Structure 1
Amino acid sequence: MPETESLVQAPPPEISPDEAADLAAALFGVTGSARPLGSNQDLNFVIDDGVAPRLLKIANPATPAAELEAQSRAAARIAERSDVRVPMPHVFDDGTSVRAVELEGGIAHARLLDFLPGRTLSGSRYLSPAAIRAMGRLAASVDLALAGFADPGAERTNQWDLQHAPAALAALLPSVADTALRARLRSTAESAWRAVAVHAESLPQQVIHGDLTDDNVVTTDGRVPDGVIDLGDLGRTWRVGELAITLSSLLHHDGVDLPAALEAVRAYHEVLPLADAELDVLWPLLALRAAVLVASAHHILLTDPGNEYAAENLAHEELIFEAAVSLPLPVATELVRHAVGADAPPLRTPSGRLIRPRSTPGLLDLSVDSALLDEGRWLDPDAESELLRAATAEHPVATRFGEPRLTRSRPYAHDGPANVPLGLDFAVPEPVALQAPWDGVVDLSGDLVAGGLRLRLRGASDVVAGPVREGEVFAEVVDVVTISLVADGVDVPEFTTAALAPAWRPFVADPSPLLGLPPAAIRTSDAGRLLHRREEHVAEVQEHYFDEPPVMLRGWRELLVDEDGRVYVDALNNVTSIGHAHPLLVHNIARQWSLLNTNSRFHYPQIAEFAERLAGLLPDGLDQVFLVNSGSEAVDLALRLAQAHTGRKDVVAVREAYHGWTYLTDAVSTSVADNPSALETRPEWVHTVDAPNPFRGVHRDDPSRYAVDAVAEVERLADAGTPPGAFLAETLYGNAGGVALPAGYLEAVYAAVRAHGGVAVADEVQVGYGRLGHWFWGFEQQGVVPDIVAVAKAMGNGHPLGAVITTPEIAASYRSQGYFFSSAGGSPVSSVVGLTVLDVIQSEGLQQNAAEVGGYLKERLQELGTRHPLLATVHGFGFYLGPEFAREDGAPATEETAAICDRMRRLGVIIQPTGDFQNVLKVKPPMVFTRESADAFVDALDRVLSTGW
């Protein structure tokens, strides 16, 4: 073991920026200003000569020149053998890169290196999964490049070499004044070292970077690192130490929990497979690294109190340490193994019976899709106990082992719930004796211990401590007992998260067979397999949200729940206008389907009532209703009606709009986000006008010009002998992000079109039906009345339903096209759905809720924009809002918006981008959205904008 003094670094030399600039000029012939960078043991200065900045590194006087030359040669090796960017040193004619510097404290050595463009990942900001995986790949790529590298300067001893962690801690721990912290650091290190020592002789060794951390990687795109800097800890040691160091540096970043950080391990393993022994020591080495980091920071601050860099890092290093010890070492190691697909087998349940056969329980289903938890019952804090009590009215019941319980899930949490039971509950209507399933000893805690297993009983009565024989009664359950079967010596919680559950399974066995039940079928995530099946058979162009979409199994009001019981706020779903799984809608659909559902050419009361209700929502004269199945069909039919009525094919449409996927609706859709070739592939009868966007458009300085230009286009077409038969527009610019049209826009354009015999078509598919709060229809906000109205989405709450409402004269014009028929449009069930949705909107005051809660949400978002300049403006009204993101120069923040949406999903909020630049959030939640959900949405967005995406 090395002398402890050699493992404690001295304070860095003291050199001012002016002195550093002079040294750069004298030693390397580079003149320019010097700007200091932080470091624990060296001095780093950026030398800016106005052409290409360089990095002047003045090493700690304790660092010999040979080590620095080794670093220079290692950098060249990495550059030659990988695609990792590294700062190349200035090399003199004699092949050396180091020059001596005389200081007050002795001789130090300096080098001049290229300064890599970009920024490091320093700090505590969020790291995306892509960034974490890139960290793992970088570490593996550097290790591959340095494999076989030999240099005398790399044969060194330093405090960061994890081979010497015990000696380093022996030297550093006396500097930790906090007695309790010092004891925790020592205890953690001793346990970790015991786990490492078992494999020490078999661990592969080579020269490694030694400090490949968030501080020492560089990213050019601001998100994913592609370069490595600072080889100051280069040395020959255990190869896996590289990954342990890299992994530790991720754990203090916002939102990076253990499963997220282990993406780096998976990525490393894909490039450079880890040996079994390396998998077993990785987490213990990380724990050692964390202990050394904390102890070293205390030592630096004791010997160099003014070191602000070390003081700032201490807070991060304490977070790293807490994360490192948040799981027992064996469990954390199994999490590592799970990350690379090398899971240990689950703990086996020995044969034996805890109860007599007549007491064998039934199973109580508390899973995500349990019918017992319908209608939001899972949100009741007492639901679990009440369901257990109700189920045991006549016979014993048990819950399922290892299955996520929805009763343990809650909305608005930024992390996944601890809802996976590592045991089960056994409830009885009358007392049941518990007998020893095998020989063992009942200890003072009431647990039966035998053969390395602990049968843990919580809530049992009349427990008899001492030795017991198989079949001997040693306790009784009077009400409910929680039963766990765990590895003795491992502190197993009653519940864990779905992400951590695989790591616990080698330490917990299924108690179900002890109760006479079949072993629980432990569910593994279906997300990847299901996505593969979907992509195999669902056409590729039929896209899904998110690259790694969660599997959704349940909805309730404005909440969605995935297969793991993770609850999300649905801020996106304008289809489900009255909320997911509305009980009245569920009941009315089931009842009508049990009576009659057939095609709409039969005569039944529901279609008449629904059409009457719809017509009553429109201004006088708009009283003829066509019922269809979707928004695309509704807009398509509206255009066909316009063409039939006017005898003209020409249509004026607004750019950046989307109206549907049928032939006619696609022809008039001009959103390049939905079709990059939209403008170039329009038929000759489609004429477009500028998107009337007051914030981002050709007339943002004078939005009234949009109407002038649109009217001019109508006049131009009329003068050319092709007056438009129709003008089609969303009445609030939904596809662009809820952008309100300039005042008077529709009034002017409608008048111009009508003056030449055309008709005005209002696309209300997204924005109508009370969503705007202050108005039931979007056209009301503009103070106009269209000739044809197309509506869908909100009408059916997810059931396929759409409608076109127009005048008797225009409706009659369709006769020239034949007759109209839609099999399911307006069917008995569809009509009941439509009627129920209207009833709920009225009876529950959902339009008023959109006005009040939507207004509150917009105010909060606007306030957020005052603190986060990226949030440039907030469009829209009610529950159709569009927060728009723009960079400092006003350019659309497209990439940022996509990343923000992904991080919001990871924080439990479902949101997506919209608009031609995909830089606007489409905030159009179910109209039952509450203030609590609005706060959860804004708070999550605030966290994202504050800590990164």
Structure 2
Amino acid sequence: MSIQEVKDFLYKTWNLHAEVNKLAGFEDLNYHVKTDGGDTYLLKISDGGLTAEVEMQVEVLQFMKMKVELHETKDFTARLIEWTSGKPWGDTYPKTPALLRDLGIQAAKHFNKIEDFDHLSTRRENFNWDLAQSLWIKPHLDILDDGLSEKITHFIHRFEDVQEIYIDLPKSTIHNDLNDYNILVDEGKVTGFIDYGDMCYSQRINEVAILLSYAMMGFEDPLDAAVHVLSGFTEIQSLKSEEIEVLYVLIAMRLSVSLVTSQQNIIQRPDNDYLQISRDPALKLLNKLSETSEAFATYKFKAACNISLSDKKQTFEKWAESHEISRVVPLELDDYYTLDLGVGSLELGHEYDYNNPQRHWRQIKDILETKQKSFAIGSYNEIRPLYSSEDFVEIGNEGRRWRTVHIGLDFFQEEGTEVYAFADGEIYSMNYNEGDKNYGHTIIIKHDCFFTLYGHLSAASLQHLSVGQKVKAGSLIAWFGTPAENGNWAPHLHFQIILDMLNYEGDFPGVCHVHERELYTHICPDPRPYLGLKLPEARGLQSQEIEKLRKQKLGRSYSLSYEQPLHIVRAAGQYLYDENGRKYLDCVNNVPHVGHQNIRVVQAAMKQMQLLNTNTRYLHENIVKLASKLIESLPGKLNVCHFVNSGSEANELAIRMARTYTGRNGIVAMEHGYHGNTNLCVDISSYKFNAKGGQGQKDFVQLIPMPDPVRSQNIERFILDQSRETPAAFIHESILSCGGQVVMPEGFFQTYYKDFRDEGMVMIADEVQTGLGRVGSHMWAFEAEDIVPDIVTIGKPFGNGHPLAAVVCTEEIADAFHNGMEYFNTFGGNPVSCSIGLEVLRIIEEEGLQERAFVLGQYIKGELKKIQEEHSIIADVRGRGLFLGWEFADPETLEPLAEKASNVVNEMKRFGILLSTDGPMHNVVKFKPPMFFRREHADYMLSTMRRILGDMKRN
């Protein structure tokens, strides 16, 4: 039928004037119908008269209280069905954990609606799409390539193996085709399901298997995606353990049926693209499943459904009660110290330099000597930051991820320390797991109902035993290896109890992902109770407890970043670590200027802190060394320093100096500027005083309008209001940060500097956020504007997060400020702060951080402009060096898109990248990372940004 013929048919049959658009379809002709009155329908036209199957589809819709009209002719049957809003699941991005969970919830509710529907046509025989009848594909595998045929053959055999369980599973009417184009999504929620043509009466678990077959497509880790769907589904509809036992096989069989059918269609109807729409994703998913342990998948599925994982743990515990168990090392029960290697610990120093096993072992020996113990033990179920290095990175559904939860027990002692068998058993495998930070030489012993693993052994350990050899509890089996033998670790034994080998042989994971913690701690129980070792006390407050206490104990005006707040417990370089050991690439915290917890800064602080920390009324070389070093970096007559504790305090002091010098009170500032949180700083910061809770503009303040780089930079020349108090100073950020990373037009500052100096005003450059080489081209951002202020204020980046700030001014202003009233600041300029500031300046110089900011900033800005060309909602990319912003606005109206910017920031956070929004309308994403940011960090940030914006665009 042509579109016009469809329109004529609608009018003739149902008196509807409508717009009609053709939709994809398999057997039927499908059309989207929108009437002049605004009603919307799905029109389905089937060849021939009313069949039992079509009648079934009409009746199930009526059973669910949906509106449907039927019209039959001798040539075709037409159904006009109430429209379900949304776009297909296959065209929806991003598929977040929340959306996956909602899919499970809505699918379960839909299942409950139709499970009692009964129609003769649901009892289908010889129906290829009924999973219970899926063995029909067995004689057709010759049309596939050999590799795929082999994989599907494996799953067919597994399906045959589980028939005894499968045939007795609960049955009901099911939709039977919840594929990615029969699921509809609107505004981040699943709105409904369509196409009941394959409905049948079959095992109800088939509904879940088919749903997952399509929901898992396109993910790096399909099982993780399935977990969210299952969690949602079983919130509404419980499933039996027996159903979950066969779920993995059923998913694989659905994919197999789809692929065989697809290949048949390619041969028979090569021109119908719709028939191939899910072929490639299905093939990729089947390949991933083929590489996945069925047992592991089943454990994950059960954990998601809150079903007992297995009875293996109970079996092991019962075994342990009646069998001899030996200590695995020559350890007396009161002769050990439990190390804290957790993510919030510093027990082995400032950072875990795991590439230096000798250093580690020296640290451990020092601890043992101090504690007067012989053995050190590394805990079980401990989140360790050392596993979150680039050596262990993986790619999951939400970007980079790491296995951080240690699921064995470590015993640290000298190389050559003896290792004994935990219990009677036989050697299951001996393997050299080669590679840096691998197990090295490893032995696995099989016992009655479990296995034990002994890792990081000497090479000799594998030379006196053989696979299949019987060993007795307490018998000598191995020795601790050297770093060269044990995977380049400090000498130790990794001991692990394993209840299910999950298809592993000479190896087994010793650490797991946090989200798989429950699963792995079930499969690998804590060895300590069976070895007679004490369990350590729980450490620290959990995230929910902290959030609750914040609300009770802290001021209500505090805020938290992101829709789901982060619980940060550690930092290093460019990264922040949450309580689960997840690393977040920090692209927004400019205060740790030379990198979080920079070891040189830490050591400088510790060294001076151990000697002296006092005020400036005593002579000390650090303060004059720091002043000299700082003045060297500044131009012109900026040569007198006053040290304070924060940027707010620096700006407050600068205003006070200007007022003293000029004898005036007024202040000129930039619109949307922000200069700190003291009373005076808030009074001159329109970002605060014109916002919610602010008291508005004070009489002594005048504001220069901020140029708008997106809408218009042509603004009227600002003229001082002579009716207001005569200004003492003009204070400005050299690039407006809270204004949205705005760089002023060429000549802007030069013009006002001339005008205001003619008026006798003092020029104050607030370099709290933009100084110290951040803009790349210059040490100080004001230099890029070809201006030299009279006063410069510098904030906490100067101390890399330590409370250190400075005011640097001219001799004339300093002399005027020396008017008989002493300036004293107890901690401003103390020896520790000055030691830190000196080290920060040295690092910037010695590491070439200013040049790096320039080169990397140019690269990032260039790549962002390329992204801007692909995504018109980015209205502007601006900034200098590592101080950038990109603004989101409607490409036609230029209206700010704050929600889009916020969505990008929260999606980036989901992928482990921290950014934030700024600007008067909060529609500018700001980028101001630690200065040790490198090209590889930039590339990851940029590629993730492209992905997220691509998902938004596809929606």
Match of 1:111 in 2: 79
Partners of 1:374 and 1:801 lie apart in 2 by: 25
Post-superposition offset of 1:353: 1.5
Q: Secondary structure at the match of 2:727?
A: coil
Post-superposition offset of 1:320: 3.5
Match of 2:61 in 1: 72
Partners of 2:137 and 2:738 lie apart in 1 by: 64
Asked whether the equivalents of residues 330 and 418 of structure 2 are also in contact (C-alpha less than 8 Å), the reply is no
Match of 2:44 in 1: 57
The one-letter code matched in structure 2 to 1:455 is T
Match of 2:434 in 1: none
Q: 1:448 aligns with which of 445, 448, 451?
A: 445
Partners of 1:637 and 1:201 lie apart in 2 by: 81
1:215 counterpart = 2:181? yes
1:410 counterpart = 2:384? no
Partners of 2:895 and 2:125 lie apart in 1 by: 48
Q: 2:927 aligns with which of 909, 917, 923?
A: 923
1:332 counterpart = 2:297? yes
Asked whether the equivalents of residues 555 and 561 of structure 1 are also in contact (C-alpha less than 8 Å), the reply is yes
Stretch moving more, 663-672 or 926-935:
663-672
1:661 counterpart = 2:671? no
Match of 1:12 in 2: none
Asked whether the equivalents of residues 406 and 419 of structure 1 are also in contact (C-alpha less than 8 Å), the reply is yes
Asked whether the equivalents of residues 125 and 254 of structure 1 are also in contact (C-alpha less than 8 Å), the reply is no
Per the alignment, do residues 236 and 891 of structure 1 end up closer, same or farther by CA in structure 2, a change over 3 Å counting? Answer: farther
Partners of 2:542 and 2:282 lie apart in 1 by: 36
| Correspondence 1:744-783 to 2 at 5 A | 744-783=747-786
Asked whether the equivalents of residues 173 and 295 of structure 1 are also in contact (C-alpha less than 8 Å), the reply is no
Post-superposition offset of 1:334: 3.3
Per the alignment, do residues 505 and 377 of structure 1 end up closer, same or farther by CA in structure 2, a change over 3 Å counting? Answer: closer
The one-letter code matched in structure 2 to 1:746 is F
Q: Secondary structure at the match of 1:249?
A: helix
Post-superposition offset of 1:837: 1.2
Asked whether the equivalents of residues 22 and 32 of structure 2 are also in contact (C-alpha less than 8 Å), the reply is yes
Post-superposition offset of 1:795: 0.7
| Correspondence 1:729-740 to 2 at 5 A | 729-740=732-743
Q: 1:692 aligns with which of 691, 707, 729?
A: 707
Deviation per CA, 1:65-95: give whole Å up to 9, x if none.
321222321452xxxxxxxxxxx54x4xxxx
The one-letter code matched in structure 2 to 1:357 is P
Post-superposition offset of 1:522: 9.9
Q: Secondary structure at the match of 1:881?
A: strand
| Correspondence 1:398-477 to 2 at 5 A | 400-411=379-390, 414-423=399-408, 429=414, 431=416, 435-443=420-428, 447-457=444-454, 460-461=461-462, 462-466=464-468, 468=470, 470-471=472-473, 473=475, 475-477=477-479
Post-superposition offset of 1:219: 3.8
Post-superposition offset of 1:731: 1.1
Partners of 1:448 and 1:895 lie apart in 2 by: 57
**Between the two proteins, what is the percent identity of the paired residues?**
27
Post-superposition offset of 1:777: 1.7
Match of 2:326 in 1: 353
Match of 1:128 in 2: 96
Asked whether the equivalents of residues 355 and 514 of structure 1 are also in contact (C-alpha less than 8 Å), the reply is no
Per the alignment, do residues 753 and 357 of structure 1 end up closer, same or farther by CA in structure 2, a change over 3 Å counting? Answer: same
Match of 1:82 in 2: none
1:581 counterpart = 2:600? no
1:728 counterpart = 2:719? no
Match of 1:181 in 2: 148
| Correspondence 1:898-909 to 2 at 5 A | 898-909=902-913
Runs (5+) with no aligned partner, structure 1: 1-14, 77-87, 92-96
1:252 counterpart = 2:249? no
Post-superposition offset of 1:790: 2.2
Post-superposition offset of 1:439: 3.2
Post-superposition offset of 1:892: 3.1
Match of 1:38 in 2: 24
Q: Secondary structure at the match of 1:262?
A: helix
Post-superposition offset of 1:243: 4.7
Post-superposition offset of 1:497: 2.5
Deviation per CA, 1:865-912: give whole Å up to 9, x if none.
333434443211111111333343233332222222233233332222
Deviation per CA, 1:85-137: give whole Å up to 9, x if none.
xxx54x4xxxxx2223545xxxx532123444543332484312332233233
Q: Secondary structure at the match of 1:353?
A: coil
| Correspondence 1:821-860 to 2 at 5 A | 821-860=824-863
Post-superposition offset of 1:343: 6.0
1:502 counterpart = 2:521? no
Asked whether the equivalents of residues 739 and 876 of structure 1 are also in contact (C-alpha less than 8 Å), the reply is yes
Asked whether the equivalents of residues 884 and 927 of structure 2 are also in contact (C-alpha less than 8 Å), the reply is yes
Partners of 1:242 and 1:531 lie apart in 2 by: 40
Asked whether the equivalents of residues 737 and 875 of structure 1 are also in contact (C-alpha less than 8 Å), the reply is no
Post-superposition offset of 1:940: 2.5
Partners of 2:604 and 2:881 lie apart in 1 by: 28
| Correspondence 1:218-367 to 2 at 5 A | 218-221=184-187, 223-234=188-199, 242-254=207-219, 257-271=222-236, 285-324=250-289, 327-339=292-304, 344=309, 347=313, 350=320, 352-353=325-326, 355=328, 357=330, 367=342
Partners of 2:356 and 2:882 lie apart in 1 by: 31
Deviation per CA, 1:670-710: give whole Å up to 9, x if none.
338x974378733344343322232x24xx2xx3x33x43x
Deviation per CA, 1:196-232: give whole Å up to 9, x if none.
96487575x66555444543344443x4444444444
Q: Secondary structure at the match of 1:765?
A: coil
Per the alignment, do residues 199 and 322 of structure 1 end up closer, same or farther by CA in structure 2, a change over 3 Å counting? Answer: same
Per the alignment, do residues 427 and 684 of structure 1 end up closer, same or farther by CA in structure 2, a change over 3 Å counting? Answer: closer
Partners of 1:368 and 1:438 lie apart in 2 by: 33
Q: Secondary structure at the match of 2:673?
A: coil
Partners of 2:551 and 2:180 lie apart in 1 by: 36
Match of 1:596 in 2: 612
Per the alignment, do residues 916 and 208 of structure 1 end up closer, same or farther by CA in structure 2, a change over 3 Å counting? Answer: farther
Per the alignment, do residues 432 and 769 of structure 1 end up closer, same or farther by CA in structure 2, a change over 3 Å counting? Answer: closer
The one-letter code matched in structure 1 to 2:609 is W
Partners of 1:255 and 1:723 lie apart in 2 by: 64
**When the two structures are superposed, what TM-score results if normalisation uses the length of structure 2?**
0.82
Q: 2:692 aligns with which of 655, 677, 681?
A: 677
The one-letter code matched in structure 2 to 1:805 is V
The one-letter code matched in structure 2 to 1:39 is G
Match of 2:134 in 1: 168
Post-superposition offset of 1:626: 3.1
Partners of 1:216 and 1:71 lie apart in 2 by: 16
Stretch moving more, 268-277 or 329-338:
268-277
Post-superposition offset of 1:452: 2.0
Per the alignment, do residues 603 and 388 of structure 1 end up closer, same or farther by CA in structure 2, a change over 3 Å counting? Answer: closer
Asked whether the equivalents of residues 402 and 520 of structure 1 are also in contact (C-alpha less than 8 Å), the reply is no
Partners of 2:217 and 2:735 lie apart in 1 by: 44
Partners of 2:19 and 2:343 lie apart in 1 by: 62
Match of 1:867 in 2: 870
Partners of 1:65 and 1:604 lie apart in 2 by: 92
Deviation per CA, 1:823-869: give whole Å up to 9, x if none.
32222212222222112212222112211222222222223333343
1:913 counterpart = 2:917? yes
Say how many residue pairs are matched: 895
Per the alignment, do residues 340 and 766 of structure 1 end up closer, same or farther by CA in structure 2, a change over 3 Å counting? Answer: farther
Match of 1:491 in 2: 503
Q: Secondary structure at the match of 2:21?
A: strand
Post-superposition offset of 1:314: 1.0
Asked whether the equivalents of residues 669 and 678 of structure 1 are also in contact (C-alpha less than 8 Å), the reply is no
Post-superposition offset of 1:515: 6.9
Q: Secondary structure at the match of 2:744?
A: coil
